[in-house]
Amino acid sequence: MDYLKSKTPPVREDRLGTGVAFGGTVQEVRHAQKEGCLNLASRSFSQTQGCQFTLSLAIINTMRNAVSIMHGPVGCGAISIGNVGQSQTFKRLRDPKAEGLFWLSTNLTESDVINGGEEKLREAIRYADKEFQPEMIIIAVSCVPALIGDDVDAVIQELQDEVAAKIVPVQCAGFKTKAMATAYDDVYHGILRQLISHPIRREDRQVVPDDLRDVQRRYRDTRTVNVLNVGTMSRADELELERLLTALELKVRYLPCFSDADDFRYVLESALNVSICGTHDDYFIKHLETLYNIPFIIDTMPVGRRNIARWLRKIAEHFDLQEQAERLIAAEDKALDEALEPLRAQFRGKTAFVGGGEVRVLTTAEVLQDLGFRILGLKVHHYDEFVEPIYESLDDVDDVVLAVSAQQPFEQINLVKRLQPDLYVGHVGGGNISAKQGLPLLPLFGPTFLYMGYGGVYEMARRIQRLMSNYQFNKKIAAHCPLPYRESWYAKDPFTYIKTELEVSTG
Amino acid sequence: MSKFIDRPRYTCALGGALIALRALPRTIPIIHASSGCGFNVSNATTAGAGYLGGGYCGGTSASSTNVVEREIVFGGEERLAEQIQTTLEIIDGDLYVVITGCMVEMIGDDISVSTNKFAAAGVPVLPIPTPSFRGTSYEGYDMLLSGLFRLYTTKGRQHRKNRVNLWGLPPGQDIFYKGNLTEFRRLLGRIGLDAYTFFGEGEPLSNLQNAADASLNIILSDTYGLKSAEVFEEVHGTPWISVPLPIGASQTANFLRTVAQALKIPDAEVEQVIAEEDARYYDYMERLADIYNDADLQRYAVITGDANYAPSVARFVSDDLGWVPRLVVITDSLEPDDTESRATLLARFEGWESDIRPEVRFDTDASAVVKYLPEAWEPNHNERYYNSLTPLVLIGSVFERDLAIKLNAPLLTLSFPATNRVILNQAYAGYNGGLTFMADLFSALLVGR
């Protein structure tokens, strides 16, 4: 894969045939994906859902020693306001001295729309460099400058020698795609172009020949894996996965979230790139393979016992560590299984609905099945090839309802009302909507909780037990705060407003 | 030319309008914009306004055309008409308002072409353009109100003597908007006035529809909502006054006198109400007289806030609490040539009972506050005896937290964004608001006790 010569990555509808609107069963969606006909559907009713700009910030806002510039009108990127406090807290879990979240808005106004926003961008870059002295200045380019044709690359070229920070462009104009996950490609595109180069010598360099040093370095490089983390991971998730890989005597480096520019400088000093979420990482690690010949594994997310084992086995196989891996998996599995047993008794026969990003949703479904839940429905932001390996971990989901829709709570509400699950597991951002159906709600991920690895399964299990033991808050909300949908909506098919391929292409 | 902004303390025009719509009962926004616009500004305000939440049909429930490249190239009016049609089918509301983002404005969509198709829908579907390159949330609030007054408020109604409208507190940007409005309805009720505020507790949409029967519009702001007041006057012939947001007993008494004067309410009636309110207020304030004096709870203050809050808060802590405000930073995005607004706001720092005069600065940038400190207080030049700016309290937004930690001073957040506290029905304005504010402020000093 090599798209780096172009200013922007291709959108995912084109590159991966990503679908954003589909309703049916698991079997049907898998078939449609394989036929390559998922990516053309659209909706005649839609709700606001985020864009590749807002999702880019999910990575950008985690970067340490960085200042971002929201290049657009004053509102673009305001979503960062919600992260001001948390961002600093979570960065400090990685580096106790980390600063908080800083961003500038180029505040494009009507005259800039006419005259171009490049001059304001220059001013903002100079100010960011002088005022904050960051290692990175990340420019998130919104719809307006993309439409008026600001040449951000030219501005960067002009200023890169003038400022000390590395300037990273992220071309993430929201109107370009409905597949928000293109955001990940946008961010990685900027990182690949500006931050990754052949390894430079480290501080431990000596300007003399030294065989021992070279051997040590080679050994280190052959045992180091880059694990591609996601912004929704907690530090506890990272520590849990690190524990498992350390047990295989591997050294772990986490990228790109909560990284600083140095972490990217050393990215090539590794033996393997391991994805946690294919939908998040494939653009980056396929480029690293093409450009720098580093192998990669994109398979499943280490959530749920079967998926963790699968993830570990793939890595172990690469390093010829199968025996050690099997011993580790057997020991971990046994201990967890025993710990889950008393909880399982309480979940037997209960039902659940899971909504959110495709990879999280399907791996979390494995956890729920393991605990004794029956999966009634699934809802994923988008759909592509990256979930295919996860089906092996699931029992009998062919006929389970699957909705492909980013946010779009109207479809979710309709489905949940029909299916009547005992538990709703969902993506953050729609809590107030799901609450109005009066169900206990487990967030699909959370930056202060453990979800991944063996520990994650147990944590989810005990939280679900607690959440289901008393959900009076949501019951009260449901009893007193109505949802905005007409009664007639609940009588209609939840996928009524998905336009077929034909309707879209002709109208 | 306007400049870049370091961490804006507001979203855009679309954001201001969207949050104002969220604050109206059973009012359904239809966003004609890219897919992320509504999501972005809702998330900003949900957290920044002390956890305002999505409400009935805001947040990710909000209807949105989610235009993509195809509409940008071919125009989005057809897509909008489709979205209005489907929204009416699914979403149960009493008023539907189409608001716009930058992209559809840049390509020249005429949204009234789309809304006109629904003239016979049985419910109003109003077009109110809110392009965000034309302003911040404050302007969006004003654009929305102007549009509603033109298109929704019934024309030709008889002005009623005791009816007034009151606005100027943009929902979300004023994190206490709802509690404050409750307090002002109560107070105006006490001097015999029936006030519609549109966004207040339990107010029906008919208050907005019937707004033209007011004999006076009271704008509780020196800067926000003034354009919509002009529009209201132009369309409905209602006069208006602009008064600063009153916080605490002294300012609120003056507010009541100003309103009474404008409506020719007899002095005696108003003074009677003020006397009663004062008595109640000082009965509570008296409780603090022990700890205030025993523990020396007088403080220096550095205040950061918008044009509504910054001057009134500064005056309140000076003239009512006997504190010493040294620096006030007003964070609005004022045009560089807007000397009139600046002059009006600066005048609010004159004639204080305490004779204190803090340094006042206008700056949008979150990193700016610290830079003005040396101008407000002589820095330490390594003197043996240094008269420092302590004990100090910071009053501002969550953006001031790093500074508060650096200065080792408590921070009370009352301006947007305030992600570190929950705001429900609290008010910080009027008599009751002054008491709540006072309680929170002194509580921040006593957390260790």
Q: Scan residues 311-350 of B and list those with Cβ closer than 8 Å to A.
A: 333
Summarised one tens digit per residue, pLDDT across range B144-180 is: 999 999 999 999 989 999 999 999 999 999 999 999 9
* pLDDT confidence of residue A507: 36
- State how far Cα A89 lies from the chain centre: 20
φ, ψ of residue A28 in degrees (nearest 5) = -65, -40
Number of domains in chain B: 3
Kindly report the nearest CA distance between residue B224 and chain A, in angstroms.
Answer: 18
Any domain includes B178: yes
CB A397 within 8 A of CB A26: yes
- Burial readout B79-104 (b: 16 or more C-beta within 10 A, e: otherwise): bbbbbbbbbbebbbbebbbbbbbbbb
Is residue A88 pLDDT above 90, yes or no?
A: no
Distance (Å, rounded) from C-alpha A283 to C-alpha A301? 17
Paired residues of A255 in beta bridges:
A228
* pLDDT confidence of residue A434: 87
Q: Scan residues 82-101 of A and list those with Cβ closer than 8 Å to B.
A: 82, 84-85, 100
Q: What is the pTM of this model?
A: 0.96
Same domain, B180 and B273: yes
Nearest CB among A45, A76, A108 relative to B83 is that of A45
Stretch B410-430: mean pLDDT: 97
Same domain, A347 and A487: yes
Q: Please, what is the angle between helix A305-319 and helix A358-371, to 10°?
A: 120
CA torsion, points B132, B138, B143, B148, in degrees to nearest 10?
130
Q: Which of A40, A56, A81 to probe the B interface (max B CBs under 10 A)? A: A81
Tokens of A504: 């879209």
Stretch B100-114: mean pLDDT: 95
Same domain, A156 and A220: no
Residue A275, CB half-sphere, CA atoms under 13 Å: how many?
22
Stretch A147-171: mean pLDDT: 96
Same domain, A283 and A158: no
* pLDDT confidence of residue A220: 81
Tokens of A393: 């971990």
Same domain, B305 and B348: yes
Single-letter amino acid, residue B160: R
Q: How confident is the model at residue A205 (pLDDT cuts 50, 70, 90)?
A: low
Distance (Å, rounded) from C-alpha A358 to C-alpha A387? 7
Distance (Å, rounded) from C-alpha A329 to C-alpha A322? 10
Same domain, A347 and A494: yes
**Range name among A89-98, A298-307, B306-315 with the lowest pLDDT average:** A89-98
Q: How confident is the model at residue A505 (pLDDT cuts 50, 70, 90)?
A: very low
In this structure, the strands spanning A42-43 and A498-499 are antiparallel
Per the prediction, chain B carries an average pLDDT of 96
Summarised one tens digit per residue, pLDDT across range A320-366 is: 999 999 999 999 999 999 999 999 999 999 999 999 999 999 999 99
Would you call A74 and B8 a contact, using CB atoms and an 8 Å cutoff? yes
**Nearest C-alpha neighbor of B87 from the set B99, B75, B96:** B96
Which of A269, A290, A323 is a domain's end point? A323
Q: Which residues constitute the domain of residue A60?
A: 52-171
> What's the CATH number where A284 sits?
3.40.50.1980
**Nearest C-alpha neighbor of A11 from the set A146, A149, A108, A121:** A146
Q: Scan residues 31-70 of B and list those with Cβ closer than 8 Å to A.
A: 31, 34-44, 46-48, 53-57, 59-69
Any domain includes B243: yes
CB A71 within 8 A of CB A152: yes
Tokens of A61: 């806002």
In this structure, the strands spanning A22-25 and A401-404 are antiparallel
What SS3 state is found at B195?
strand
CA distances (Å), origin A305, targets A58, A350, A370, A459, B234: 27, 20, 8, 13, 69
Number of domains in chain A: 3
Chain A residue numbers with beta carbons less than 8 Å from the beta carbon of B76 are none
Same domain, A351 and A494: yes
Which of B280, B307, B336 is a domain's end point? B280
Same domain, B80 and B187: no
Distance (Å, rounded) from C-alpha B156 to C-alpha B345? 35
Is residue A506 pLDDT above 50, yes or no?
A: no
Interface predicted TM-score (ipTM) of this complex, two decimals: 0.95
Any domain includes B286: no
More confident residue, A476 or A205: A476
- Burial readout A219-245 (b: 16 or more C-beta within 10 A, e: otherwise): eeeebbbbbbbbbbbbbbbbbbbbebb
Any domain includes B5: no
φ, ψ of residue A83 in degrees (nearest 5) = -105, 0
Same domain, A218 and A319: yes
Residue B291, CB half-sphere, CA atoms under 13 Å: how many?
10
Any domain includes B238: yes
Same domain, B18 and B128: yes
Same domain, B228 and B303: no
Same domain, A236 and A368: no
Distance (Å, rounded) from C-alpha A432 to C-alpha A478? 10
Same domain, A319 and A454: no
DSSP B225: T
Any domain includes A445: yes
**Nearest C-alpha neighbor of B60 from the set A47, A335, A56, A119:** A47
Question: Cis bond leading into A342, ω under 30°?
Answer: no
Q: Which of B34, B80, B104, B397 to probe the A interface (max A CBs under 10 A)? A: B34
Same domain, B324 and B265: no
Any domain includes A138: yes
Same domain, A390 and A453: yes
What SS3 state is found at A425?
strand
Q: Which residues constitute the domain of residue B199?
A: 160-280
φ, ψ of residue A23 in degrees (nearest 5) = -140, 130
Same domain, B196 and B108: no
DSSP A385: G
Nearest CB among A51, A105, A482 relative to B35 is that of A51
Would you call B39 and A53 a contact, using CB atoms and an 8 Å cutoff? no
Asked if B298 is an interface residue toward chain A (Cβ–Cβ < 8 A), one would say: no
Any domain includes B434: no
What SS3 state is found at A295?
coil
Same domain, A122 and A222: no
Residue B391 burial (CB count, 10 A): 14
What SS3 state is found at A307?
helix
Tokens of B80: 């909008």
Any domain includes A461: yes
In this structure, the strands spanning B125-128 and B359-362 are unpaired
In this structure, the strands spanning B27-32 and B5-6 are unpaired
Any domain includes A223: yes
> What's the CATH number where B37 sits?
3.40.50.1980
Same domain, A293 and A395: no
Any domain includes B292: no
* Helix extents (H) in A348-408: 358-371
Nearest CB among B53, B89, B106 relative to A113 is that of B106
Same domain, A384 and A449: yes
Would you call B8 and A106 a contact, using CB atoms and an 8 Å cutoff? no
Residue A126 burial (CB count, 10 A): 15
Asked if A219 is an interface residue toward chain B (Cβ–Cβ < 8 A), one would say: no
Stretch A497-501: mean pLDDT: 83
Tokens of B276: 């009663």
Any domain includes A11: no
Any domain includes B440: no
* pLDDT confidence of residue B338: 85
What SS3 state is found at A141?
strand
Would you call A429 and B63 a contact, using CB atoms and an 8 Å cutoff? no
